[in-house]
Structure 1
């Protein structure tokens, strides 16, 4: 016996009631079971060939607003700090002088580290904007993407500052003299 219905997916059809073969009588009552029938039309069944569309996601306006605000803060931060990070030598000299070290002389290393930090920060900002817009377009939560981008940009700036400061041999002798005391 072949079933004309499409092969069922898990949970799609309820099982048919058990049926005895035709002409078999029940031993206690002598009643005869009817012959089993094949059901050819199943109501409310979606044919297997038509794909079902996923449910439409709802746009979260709070997420769009928060993501746009965080991206705007990132753009303003990169633009405002670009010149400062590019000219990192005098900034480090002033900061270290306030801590008691007056002999910072690694201006070239600070300029190179600042240039690398600026490149990483701009690339991180562009990638953050692209990925955040993709997530917003797909109606998924996206506010976390600018936070991750800001973390990456901050780490790049901190690494640049550490490289510039630790490349100065005078600073390393100053640290050794402090440890000797």
Structure 2
């Protein structure tokens, strides 16, 4: 059969992909993915939004970004208060150690005063720097339109691991603390 004698296609079998898209009025998905732009019309956007809602996706990306911003900045505000209180406590490390001894029920007093002051100051500085880094990354991700709520949480965990390691050094070198640890084991 020659091209002129072919029967009229029922399902677009002879049409090019572009002709098929034009016929069914669907956008070129490859072009949309490569450019990041959408060529859908308002009716298709409405249909796509309804499908997304039915699939459990958020109804409005702007709303989810607003919720992310609120949660992120609430976590940062909460962390700021905690960092301020903890940094002040760590700067007075002998009092901090006395509180640790009291809470743990350790008899005796903290005597490693010089080491405690130096390591406590280092822990306070690490706490403030960790907060500032987490806040900076959170703001950058929020401004870029990316999810940022997890950054303050991860920052808190990492920072507290570092601060805990710095704060335990003077405690482990205190005779009353080590005597207590050996007595319980």
* TM-score calculated relative to the size of structure 2: 0.63
- 8 Å CA contact 1:63–1:141 kept in 2: the answer is yes
Query: Residue 175 of structure 1 corresponds to which residue in structure 2?
Result: 181
- 8 Å CA contact 1:89–1:108 kept in 2: the answer is no
- The 1:106–1:55 alpha-carbon spacing in structure 2 relative to 1, beyond 3 Å, is farther
- The CA distance in 2 between the partners of 1:171 and 1:125, in whole Å, is 29
- 8 Å CA contact 1:86–1:115 kept in 2: the answer is yes
RMSD between superposed Cα atoms in Å: 3.5
Q: Within 5 Å, give how 1:1-181 maps onto structure 2.
A: 33=2, 53-55=35-37, 58-59=61-62, 60-97=65-102, 99-179=105-185
- The CA distance in 2 between the partners of 1:165 and 1:71, in whole Å, is 29
- The CA distance in 1 between the partners of 2:132 and 2:173, in whole Å, is 30
- The CA distance in 2 between the partners of 1:109 and 1:121, in whole Å, is 18
- The CA distance in 2 between the partners of 1:67 and 1:53, in whole Å, is 30
- The 1:55–1:78 alpha-carbon spacing in structure 2 relative to 1, beyond 3 Å, is farther
Which 4+ stretches in 1 moved above 6 angstroms?
42-46
- 8 Å CA contact 2:87–2:125 kept in 1: the answer is no
Cα displacement (A) at 1:135: 0.9
Cα displacement (A) at 1:112: 1.4
Deviations 1:120-140 (A, max 9, x none): 111111111111111111211
Normalized per residue, the structure richer in helix is 2
Aligned residues: 147
* TM-score calculated relative to the size of structure 1: 0.65
Cα displacement (A) at 1:170: 3.6
- The CA distance in 2 between the partners of 1:55 and 1:88, in whole Å, is 57
